[in-house]
């Protein structure tokens, strides 16, 4: 299996296809992570709020994959925003993971009414400079918020993780991120399965032999997005990453799936979520 990597503007890079830990129970995380590593995943996306960092770390150790071959992401939760509290939160995440550093640390949500994301960003810069974090980014930010981080600190996030799926394709936001040299990463990439029966997805599945989930994951990959699907079933875990070696969708198929967009979200709107 070919595992492509997407370059960061800080000189590092990220595997394009990863394993998401959202809603994976703590007790199931070690087995799920180890199964994903055995299937070829090297990017593992967690967060403090998921409540499974200890299990995630155990799974990484159980996998037998050398640490240098793994890419580990975690996130600072909303209640930890602020300079000093972010430093403490990051250290707590590292302790739970059992790691001396993570490859990517994200601000989980901007929480605009808290007005703390710039100070939180300054803490991430400190952690990066101290070697506790290799690269730093954000999640659920809009372009104006990212521009504020750059203007006030001189440091631009390497990645923005946002909800992207056929009902919420966000091509304009991806274009804005690309213009800033920022990798866009998709969370809830399958959109809770709500587009599996859509005619363009079914037609592409019939032509390629992919499942509807495989078609949608292929759509993400061909858009140049980093994508982090989640499953606790070993068969689905393996099938998801296998789309990297699957057939390409045509330009017409890609456009038809993007045209399914209604702006409907599976998660909250970042402007409102605190």
**Residues acting as catalytic residues:** 50
Cβ–Cβ under 8 Å, residues 58 and 87: no
Closest CA to 33 of 189, 230, 220: 230
Write down the residue that tokens 């901007």 correspond to.
Answer: 110
CA atoms of 149 and 163, how far apart (whole Å): 21
Residue 124's SS3 state is: helix
DSSP string, 146-193: HHHHHHHHS---SEEEEE-BTTB--HHHHHHHHHTT-EEEEESTTGGG
């Amino acid at each position: 299996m070919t595992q492509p990597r997407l370059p960061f503007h800080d000189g590092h890079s990220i595997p394009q296809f990863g394993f998401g830990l959202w809603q994976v129970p703590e007790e199931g995380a070690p087995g799920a992570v180890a199964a994903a590593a055995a299937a070829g995943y090297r990017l593992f996306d967690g967060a403090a709020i998921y409540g499974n960092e200890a299990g995630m770390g155990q799974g990484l150790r159980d996998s037998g994959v050398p640490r240098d071959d793994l890419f580990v992401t975690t996130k600072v939760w909303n209640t930890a925003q602020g300079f000093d509290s972010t430093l403490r939160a990051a250290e707590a995440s590292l302790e739970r993971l059992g790691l001396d550093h993570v490859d990517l640390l994200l601000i989980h949500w901007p929480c605009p009414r808290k007005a703390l994301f710039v100070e939180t960003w300054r803490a991430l810069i400190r952690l990066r400079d101290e070697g506790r974090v290799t690269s730093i980014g954000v999640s659920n930010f809009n372009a104006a918020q990212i521009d504020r981080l750059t203007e006030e600190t001189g440091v631009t996030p390497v990645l923005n993780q946002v909800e992207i799926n056929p009902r919420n394709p966000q091509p304009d936001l991806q274009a804005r991120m690309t213009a800033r040299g920022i990798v866009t990463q998709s969370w809830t990439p399958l959109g809770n399965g709500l587009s599996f029966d859509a005619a363009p997805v079914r037609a592409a599945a019939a032509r390629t032999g992919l499942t509807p989930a495989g078609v949608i994951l292929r759509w993400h990959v061909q858009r140049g997005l980093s994508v982090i699907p989640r499953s606790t079933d070993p068969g689905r875990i393996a099938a998801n990453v296998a789309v990297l070696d699957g057939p390409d969708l045509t330009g017409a198929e890609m456009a038809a799936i993007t045209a399914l967009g209604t702006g409907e979200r599976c998660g909250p709107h970042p402007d409102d979520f605190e």
